Amino acid sequence: MRSCAAASIISLVCLAGAPLQIHAADGVRLAYRFHRGDRIDMQVRHRAVTETTIGSTRQSTETATDSRKTWQVVEVDDDGRATLEQSVNDVRMTSRTSDRGEINWSSSDTDPPPPGYETVRQSLGVPLTRLIVDRAGRIIERHDLRPVPPANTGDLVVVPLPDDPVAVGTTWTVPDELVIEAPHAARKAVRTRLRYQVDAIEDGIATISVDTTVLTPIDDPRLEARLLERIWDGTIRFDIEQGRVRSRSTATDRRVVGFEGPQSSIRYKASLEEHVVERSTSD
């Protein structure tokens, strides 16, 4: 199963603005502090390996994507709600399969993109998504300005924060819902819960860990296989004074058996790293 194919099948229904369940002690307040005209550049590194076995046939697909993503703060109202627009400025992509070899493409190349990459160039340097978020990172509105596949880790410059002050050990949870479907299987809504915990507060940075729990029982391996790219754990570094995410890293390594009969299995292993790129004063 190819990663891009899975992304086109799975659709994410985000419970924007869902209430946070929090257990906090006295501590510091975490909140976003966006200003109109702010531009936040993020360097993104994504690596993934999908290993599929059906009977005696085995196939492996490796993908590597490096990109520069920009969030532009278009507006901030009196209540601190910010309108953000995301774009991707450049990208370098590699795909390697066990039966078809390797394909490389960079947006800086002058040659036409290879099959399957044609629409990527058209999506560079233009707004892809517009969000309105409050100071706690809750999504008030979301508009996809161009067709984009759902991101396996949210792909946001914001993560939800609690309304109350936090200290080391503070936890809060956020509900989510995924709608998944697979060939010859019924469409299913799957409830999940993201649990956040403050692991450290040091030098003005709050280090926050996050893990995902699937709450809805799934007894069909075909549907379970479609969840592999959605269940992840990670670490977030939040700049308390500037009021924004400085970096985020996530990882997943999961396997499902029986998605195409008893002699089948699929393993998905991936990592994602994002960090803010500091801009020079001349930019």
Q: Which two tokens stand for residue 74?
A: 């278009």
pLDDT score for 178? 87
Reported as a single tens digit per residue, the pLDDT across 121-142 is: 888 999 999 999 999 999 999 9
State pTM to two decimals. 0.84
Residue 43: name the closest of 242, 231, 247 by CA.
247
- CB neighbourhood size of 186 (10 A): 9
Q: Report which listed range, 26-30, 50-54, 153-157, is most confident.
A: 50-54
* Residue 122: count of CB within 10 angstroms of its CB: 10
Tens digits of residue pLDDT in 192-203: 999 999 999 999
Distance CA 211, CA 209 (A): 7
% the chain with pLDDT above 90:
63
Least confident piece of the model among 169-173, 183-187, 213-217: 183-187
**pLDDT tier, 228 (very low <50, low <70, confident <90, very high otherwise):** confident
pLDDT in tens, 84-124: 999 999 999 999 998 888 999 999 888 888 887 778 888 89
The percent of residues above 70 in pLDDT, for the chain, comes to 86
- Flag whether pLDDT at 65 surpasses 90: yes
CA distances to 61, 114, 184 from 99, rounded to whole Å, are 9, 17, 26
Q: What is the pLDDT of residue 278?
A: 82
Q: Helix (H, G, I), strand (E, B), or coil: what is residue 57? A: strand
Instruction: Give CA–CA dist 217/226, Å, rounded.
Output: 14
Residue whose pair of structure tokens reads 């993020």 in the numeric block: 42
Helical spans, DSSP H, in 123-271: 221-226
Question: Do residues 111 and 125 lie in contact, with contact meaning Cβ atoms separated by under 8 Å?
Answer: no
Integer angstrom CA distances of residue 74 from 17, 44, 85, 133, 169: 21, 22, 7, 12, 35
Token pair listed for 35: 């200003």
3-state secondary structure of 223: helix
Strand partners, 202: 205
Query: What six digits make up the tokens of 128?
Result: 């892809």
Rg (CA), the chain: 20
Average predicted confidence (pLDDT) for the chain: 85
pLDDT of residue 157: 76
What digits encode the pLDDT tens for the residues 21-43?
554 446 899 999 999 999 999 99
Report the residue count for the chain: 283
Q: What is the largest CA-CA distance in the chain?
A: 62
> Cβ distance 88 to 123 under 8 Å?
yes
Residue type, 110: T
